Structure 1
Amino acid sequence: MKMTPSRVLSGGFALIICLGTFLLSLPIAIKGGNTISLIDALFTATSALCVTGLIVVDTGTHFSVFGQIVLLLLIQAGGVGFMTVATWFAIALKKQVSLSDRLILTETLNQNTMEGIVRLIRKVLIYSLTIESIAAVLYLSRWSQEMPFGKAVYFSIFHSVSIFNNAGFELMGGYTNLTPYIDDFFINIVSMALVLLGGIGFIVISDIMDYPKTRRLSIHSKVVLYTTVILTGISAVCIFIFEYANMNTLGGYGWTTKILASLFQSITLRSAGVNTVDIANLHEATQFLMIIMMFIGAAPGSTGGGIKLTTFAVLVGALISMVRGKEDVVMFRHRLPQKDIYKAVTLTVIAVFIVVTFTMILSALQGQDFLMILFETASAFGTVGLSMGLTQHLTFTGKIIIILLMFIGRIGLLTLAFSILPKQKKELYRYPEGKITIG
């Protein structure tokens, strides 16, 4: 079988997951008195590398420092892509990046061309380390006031890497996530900034950083930024309205905390997996809204999953064009290629099919509330990591299903399809056009 970039990418992720499973299974990775099964180690390693954040054992209390560092390395490799990390080392050692490596990097970062790919990888390194370092310092300034300095440094580094890479792993213990900080303005702002920067993708970050010189943004960056603002605003307003009087979530807080918490939950849906309210106590309307937003996900070339913001934007653009009776889909005075519209529709249909199918299977196996199962499935596919509490009660088969969903969600539907299916030959003929009734 020919090793295409898609197959290398899928196989590489699978191999690193196996390595992570082995390391997390070692006694040194577990705190004294705890144990971990092979399936739980596999689940955790997959969740970390696929930057999801769904956990079957509590990260802060179950794993030792060694185990947590293994998770941190998996998160960093999964967030930027293992080939990106490998290229960082090649650049550091002043080695030449081969053509095959460039092809794989192009696949990793969802690029359409190899042009400037190594330059972009250098920027990814600089941006990642800079953003994570600044966030760690900011977290440290806050956490050093409530815990020993050494622990505060460790917590700050771990959470800055985890949240920037949209992984959702945290060390607070007791499955509490960031709920103790629901009204902490500083922690909320730093965390939201990290989630947004990780979710918009390195291509957009690069565009923004170059804007003072170029005075322009690419159509990709414009679509990502506009769609992010619109979806974040809509979901924040809806969460605020739905949860305003819910005494189990926001009902007991003042206006400032309600607005802050609504915005935080809205932003975390981009694929972060950290939350400041108990997801299980939200109203069903809020939970269903979250399922939709998790399904959409983050931007291409980012640390997030889902069908991607640009896919959703193209679908909406196509819908508007069809309603208006126009043939072309136009965004920011640019006509989109027909193949991009077909690609967006194809991705969405496949994604819906996968989520629906896996939800039905889980429903048959778990016997839990349907909305809870659909929420878990969407969270795994979108590599978000939010949960209504089902993760800790998954059966062996249920864990396997969620592992597959996290893997599919991280490497991408097209990458998985190209890695499995044989390369299609271009047809030398076209069939005559036929007409069927639609609608």
Structure 2
Amino acid sequence: MKLAPTQVLVLGFAAVILIGALLLTLPIATKSGESAGFLTALFTATSAVCVTGLVVVDTGTYWSTFGQVVIMLLIQIGGLGIMAMSTLFALILGRKITFKERLVMQEAFNVNSLEGIVKFAKYILIVTFLFESTGAVILSLRFLPQMGLKKAVYYGLFHSISAFNNAGFDLMGNFNSLTGYVSDWVVNLVIMGLIIFGGLGFYVLLDIYQQKHLHECTLHTRLVITITFFLIVVGALLIFLLEYNNPKTLKPLDFSTKILASLFQSVTPRTAGFNTLSLPDMTTASKFLTIILMFIGASPAGTGGGIKTTTFGVILFTVLSVIKGNDETVTFKRTIPRSIVYRSIAIAFISICIVLSVTMVLSVTEASNFLTELYEVTSAFGTVGLSLGLTPKLTVIGRIVIILTMYSGRVGPLTLAMALAQRQKKNKAIMKFADEKVMVG
């Protein structure tokens, strides 16, 4: 049976999750020496491979070093993608990359051409190593005075990999994430830098490196940079204003730390999942803003999730073009093809349907309020990992539903829909029917 590239990706992620879950069920994976149980292991493995960060047990205190290393490897595989890791092993073994594998890589990396696809995969591996190793060294040096050499190096590596892959897993214990480092500029800036660069997408990083100047880059790169910058700045400003007088978040902090914390809480919904402020104590408006940022997420061909910045950007500029009376979507003096506009709308619509449907299910199965349930579901779908505390309390049904939500969010709503429908790209012309108008609005 021949599988379409989208189906290979969907099944590949599922296989890695299953292997990870089986490893985490081993007694050696927990500090207590007792099996975590399949559902807990499956939830954790799914969260790691889907680089989400939602957890039902605390990573730092529940899992042993073996279990934490398994989680770290799953994060790395999930962040880079199945095909990037397959390419790495193929290169190590000296095996030639087949045409079918190149097709799957094209789908996985979300690029339009097979030309240079293997070279692009090599570039992804190199960039990942450079960013993660640099982040690990700086974090290790920062942790050294309080942890000692061995623990500092281990923590530095784990959190660097988790941050660059936008995973949000941490080892700080008791579900505290990085709240103990709210005023630490080094830790905050390194984690934010890794999150942003991992979330921009490897294609954007390559384009910027090759062109040197932003105005010479492709429309995709300029759109990603513009939307990312806009979301981070506006998000930070709104969080700063909304939380400024909140005695449980920003109010006790000095002015510079307020700015740092606001910026961090604007960056982390890029699908990273770390937090330096107490999320349950944030205002309702801030929580809703975070939901919006989580839903949009990171950028294509990167380590983050969500509907992607470009999808949001295309829809935004389409709306602006309609308001201006234009028949085409125009941005940066370029016209975006209608097929891209339709794809963006489809992704957004499918994503909204998934989030609302899962939220409705949790409203029945869980003893919580609507905003908390929507927050948790959006975090799962956007592979973010931020939580208001509902995840550890989920019922069995709730855990299964969130597992499926994280999975669908990682492989992509449109990719998943196409895989399930066993759809191939159509090469033949489609019959065009007569136009007829309908009233809208």
Structure 1 partner of 2:371: 371
Give the whole-Å Cα distance in 1 for the aligned partners of 2:215 and 2:121.
22
Q: Which residue of 2 aligns with 1:173?
A: 173
Give the Å deviation of 1:430. 2.5
Paired with 1:292 and 1:363, the residues of 2 have a C-alpha distance of: 19
2:141 is aligned to 141
Q: What displacement does 1:422 show?
A: 3.1
Name the structure 1 match of 2:437.
435
Quick one: which amino acid aligns to residue 432 of structure 1?
A
Contact 1:166/1:199 (<8 A) preserved: yes
**Which residue of 1 is the match for residue 57 of structure 2?**
57
Conserved? CA contact 1:34–1:62, under 8 Å: no
CA distance in 1, matches of 2:341, 2:9: 25
Cα deviation, residue 428, structure 1? 4.9
Measure, in 2, the Cα distance between the counterparts of 1:187 and 1:5.
Answer: 39
Query: Which residue number in structure 1 is paired with residue 198 of structure 2?
Result: 198
- Structure 2, unpaired ranges of 5+: none
- Give the C-alpha shift of residue 35 in structure 1: 4.5
AA of the residue aligned to 2:272:
A
Supply the AA of the counterpart residue of 1:429.
M
Alpha-carbon distance between aligned partners in 2 of 1:122 and 1:422, rounded to the nearest angstrom: 30
Cα separation, 1, equivalents of 2:136 and 2:357: 40
How many pairs are equivalent?
439
Q: Contact 1:372/1:388 (CA < 8 Å) preserved in 2?
A: yes
Do residues 111 (structure 1) and 108 (structure 2) align? no
Q: Matches of 2:326 and 2:154 in 1, distance apart?
A: 56
Q: Give the match's secondary structure for 1:106.
A: helix
SS at structure 1 position matched to 2:154: helix
State the partner residue of 2:251.
251
Give the TM-score taking structure 2 as reference length: 0.97
CA distance in structure 1 between the aligned counterparts of 2:168 and 2:280, rounded to whole angstroms: 17
- CA pair 196-84 structure 1, distance change in 2 beyond 3 A: same
Alignment deviations for residues 259-280 of structure 1 (CA, whole Å, 9 cap, x no partner): 0000000000111000101111
What residue is the counterpart of 1:102 in the other structure? Answer: 102
Question: Residue deviations 1:188-215, cap 9 Å, x none?
Answer: 0101000001110111111122223998
Aligned to 2:278: 278
Normalising by structure 1, report the TM-score. 0.98
Pick closer, same or farther for the CA change 1:45–1:31 going to 2, 3 Å: same
* TM-aligned CA deviation for residue 96 of structure 1: 1.2
Q: How does 1:208-287 map to 2 (within 5 A)?
A: 208-212=208-212, 216-287=216-287
SS in 2 for 1:161: helix
Per-residue CA deviation, residues 394-421 of structure 1 (Å, 9 max, x unaligned), is 0000000100110000000121112111
Counterpart CA distance in 1 for 2:405 and 2:316 is 25
Change (3 A) 1:213 1:296: closer
Match of 2:339 in 1: 339
Task: Indicate yes or no: 2:187 matched with 1:187.
Answer: yes
Contact 1:177 1:276 (8 Å CA) reproduced: yes
Distance, in Å, in 2 between the alignment partners of 1:215 and 1:357 is: 41
| Equivalent pair of 1:54/1:387 in contact (CA under 8 Å) | yes
The letter of the residue matching 2:117 is: I
Computed over aligned residues only, the root mean square deviation of the Cα atoms, in angstroms, reads 1.4
TM superposition outliers: structure 1 runs of 4+ over 6 Å? none
What residue identity is the alignment partner of 1:234?
A: V
User: Where does residue 88 of structure 2 map in the other structure?
Assistant: 88
1:321 equivalent in structure 2: 321
CA distance in 2, matches of 1:190, 1:243: 23
Q: How many Å separate the matches in 2 of 1:174 and 1:294?
A: 23
CA contact (8 A) 2:29 2:35 kept: no
Amino acid at match of 1:270: R
Instruction: Report the counterpart of residue 305 of structure 1 in structure 2.
Output: 305
| Deviation readout 1:222-267 (Å, 9 max, x if unpaired) | 1000100001111100000000000111110111000000000000
Q: 2:297, 2:308 within 8 Å by CA — same for their partners in 1?
A: yes
1:409 counterpart residue number? 409
Deviation, 1:303, is 0.7
- Partner Cα distance (1:197, 1:431) in 2: 45
Q: Does 2:361 match 1:361? A: yes
Task: Report if the CA contact (8 A) 2:48-2:78 is conserved.
Answer: yes
* 1-structure distance, mates of 2:357, 2:130: 41
Structure 1 unaligned blocks of 5 or more: none
Aligned AA (1:340):
I
SS state of the match for residue 330, structure 1?
strand
Distance in 2 between the 1:243 and 1:215 partners? 36
Amino acid at match of 1:201: G
Deviations 1:63-105 (A, max 9, x none): 1111111001100000010111110121223221111111111
Counterpart of 2:361 in structure 1: which amino acid? I
Task: Answer whether contact 1:179 1:275 (CA < 8 A) is retained.
Answer: yes
User: Which residue number in structure 2 is paired with residue 380 of structure 1?
Assistant: 380
With 35-44 and 280-289 compared, the bigger mean Cα shift is at 35-44
**Matched residue of 1:335: which SS?**
strand
Residues 1:30 and 2:33 are matched in the alignment: no
- CA distance in structure 1 between the aligned counterparts of 2:213 and 2:254, rounded to whole angstroms: 43
Q: Tell me how far apart the structure 1 counterparts of residues 200 and 40 of structure 2 sit (CA, whole Å).
A: 31
Using the aligned pairs only, state the percent identity: 46
State the 1:427 CA deviation.
6.4
Task: Using the TM superposition, give the Cα deviation of residue 33 of structure 1 relative to its aligned residue in structure 2, in angstroms.
Answer: 5.5
Mapping 1:156-171, distance limit 5 Å: 156-171=156-171
Distance in 2, matches of 1:368 and 1:58, equals 21
Letter of the 1:361 counterpart: V
CA distance in 2 between partners of 1:212 and 1:13 (Å): 35
Is the Cα contact below 8 Å between 1:43 and 1:399 reproduced in 2? yes
| 1:423 to partner: Cα distance | 2.8
- Paired with 1:388 and 1:423, the residues of 2 have a C-alpha distance of 38
